[in-house]
Amino acid sequence: MTPTSLLALFVAGSVLAPPSATAPPAASVRWTWPVGDGTRPPLVAPFDAPEEQWGPGHRGIDLGTARGEPVRAVDAGEVTHRGRIAGRGTVTVTHASRVRSTYEPVDSAVRVGDRVRRGEIIGRVGDEPGHCAPAACLHLGAKRGPTYLDPLGFFGARRVVLLPLP
């Protein structure tokens, strides 16, 4: 293959990527950052959609923070899960858009069925090692039905696709 045809295949793959990689939010509501002072925290690891439901990938984003820092709900919703998965504290909030935001590792006292407001503290970054060990980070996921979504899209971030030169 020529470099031009390889670039064309790459671009086609980026444009025609699975819905999990490019699905924009259903609602126009933008999320608030779950950690930090309200500005965008450092992005430690980006979303990497799996090619198949059970395939490898990174089903969320990792945001740099510190252990013990407050974790806030990205939008209003209902707590639909609080527990431990793979040894880490996790919380899931289902929003009016039916998108679920997931947070880990989180030490939390919220209960399933609790209603939370946008920006409300739902816990604190847990002590257990997470995706960024030995550093601390918060893993934030987004899911609609069985489809993983790139959480950055909910903050207004856009995916850029470069097209080949003529």
Q: Is the pTM of this model over 0.85?
A: no
Token couple for 133: 């060990």
What residue numbers bound the domain in which 42 lies?
A: 19-155
CATH for 79: 2.70.70.10
Q: What is the pLDDT of residues 83-94, one digit of tens each?
A: 999 899 999 999
Residue 154 in this model has a pLDDT that exceeds 90: yes
Q: What is the pLDDT of residues 26-80, one digit of tens each?
A: 445 699 999 999 899 999 999 888 777 777 767 899 999 999 999 999 999 999 9
Q: Which residue has the higher pLDDT, 133 or 8?
A: 133
Report how far Cα 153 is from the mean position of its chain's Cα atoms: 9
Give a yes or no: residue 114 inside a domain. Answer: yes
Buried b or exposed e, range 1-26, using 16+ CB within 10 angstroms: eeeeeeeeeeeeeeeeeeebbbbebe
Give a yes or no: residue 78 inside a domain. Answer: yes
